Structure 1
Amino acid sequence: MPKNQNLNDAVADVSQGDSVWLGGGDLFGEDNYEWNDGERFEWSNWDIGQPSNYAGEEHCLEMNYQTRGKWNDRRCCDEIGYVCQIPSTKSIPYEFSDFTVYSGNDASSYHDAQQFCERRRSRLVLLQTDEDLERLLSKMNAMDLKQFWINRGEHGQSCSSVTENVVTTGDCLQPMPFICEEVAPHDLHVSDEQPKIEPGTTFNVECSASGVPVPEVKWYKDGTYVPHQNQDIGKSTLLLGDISTADLGMYVCKAVSEIKGKHRIIKGYSFIEAASNLE
């Protein structure tokens, strides 16, 4: 739901100019446009001649129909792309996971299984809640695994496993199938998404993300890597000094991991504006 220009620019960047649905429309009254959370449109970015409600059938909201970032009303039954907006506080790491099962001759003790996964830049599958177990079992229902090690914490000489769909503990030295888990970048956080900066001042903004393996995080502006940044494990801090008009605008933070030969990417944004006139 891009309720302002900055969010709209972010969605346009993520969608790469492809037609996508936005979370709004006038389904409940012609020209009474509102977002899916019930808020009325206080800001809009319609393309020229839009909304048109062609043939009286267009009641859903589309971006990038003819012009990048611009809006169009469209038939809700049409099939186009979409962008999901997930609050970071509701980001569920499990939904970003890829799994590899090791069984048969690969069956190992608990600690050997842990080390095996770590050598492959992954982790022994992490199950912290009953909901995690349900999601895992639903994803793996085609595999006939009666018992396997899981990462849930050790209890003395016993380690956690799933046996007949129930979490149990057992002898850590017992050879058992196991699952290695890779987690795409998620839970990205930008310390200041819309700062207003005074001229000539110094400003830093940090971007961090989680994942297994830990993602590489970098800042970009206008598609170009920003040299003034301090990269660390799973995060990067944008360093701007003596702020001028050239420093204003949209900065994109990219967190990237390679999982199963493919680059998995998540983006965050900081829209730097002037608190007063800059030279």
Structure 2
Amino acid sequence: MLPSPRAFLLGALICLPALASAKESWKDLREQYDAARKRVAESLDEELPKDEEKLKAYLEEVKKAKDGLKALPAKMLESDGKKTVDYLIEQSLLSEVPGVATGALLNLRRVKDRKAVRQLVKETDKAKDPRIANLLTEVLADVKDSSAGSALLKAIKDRDVGRRAAAARAIGKRGDKDLAKSLKRLLRDDSLVVRYAAADAIEKLSGQRPDGFPKAQAGDFGLPDRFNYDRVVFLVDVTSEALEASFEDPLIKEEEEEKQGEEKEGEKKQEGKKKQEGKKKQ
């Protein structure tokens, strides 16, 4: 005899708690993530097993842990986006363990939940560590939400050079043409890094590169040409004094030094001739 519709519905309701409990909680996912992170960190100092079978099992285990560094944060975001944003920023963004920071950034770029987005924008705005602030500012380039755009407009006015440059790059990457006008003020920024970041972004948004900001071109050896070779230097030294000096064309500087040397040598010869002429007259 078939069960009545009422009995069938009652049975389904009884099963619901069991189905819900089968779904992993945020805490469970976080513990798995922490375990994966710890396992990858431990593998850095471990010796590889010499036995072929043990080596195969070991490599599979470490690979699974590394895969978890990307997959588990995604599940954590689905479970509780707001809490995950905080956790990844605090625990993973500056981690030196290979794959941890990369996985965190990858997943922060995919944040879509409204609460999670608001939290990400909030954390970006209040970040005191320049490294975290700059990383999160660049992350906002992939967050398609008006609040992220507003945060970037605020960031281009920040006192920190790195954050202003990061904000300019993010605006260019977002493709928001409405924000292009806001970048023009950065073309007069005190920092050469910021000015070029703004020029690059404006070119992406408008299709036209601002005058006075030549784009780096590859030379005969695949390296940036002599006029833009120095644009690589600012990635290493971010002090304003070093930046301005780093953008001087080294080849032109050498030519000027050679010219000055030739002029001094010419002056010495002239003085020598005058002395000889003076002796002859005597």
**Bigger strand share:** 1
**Bigger helix share:** 2
Q: TM-score, normalised by structure 2?
A: 0.19
Flag the structure with more relative contact order, 1 or 2, with Cα contacts below 8 A and sequence separation at least 6.
1
Larger-gyration structure (1/2): 2
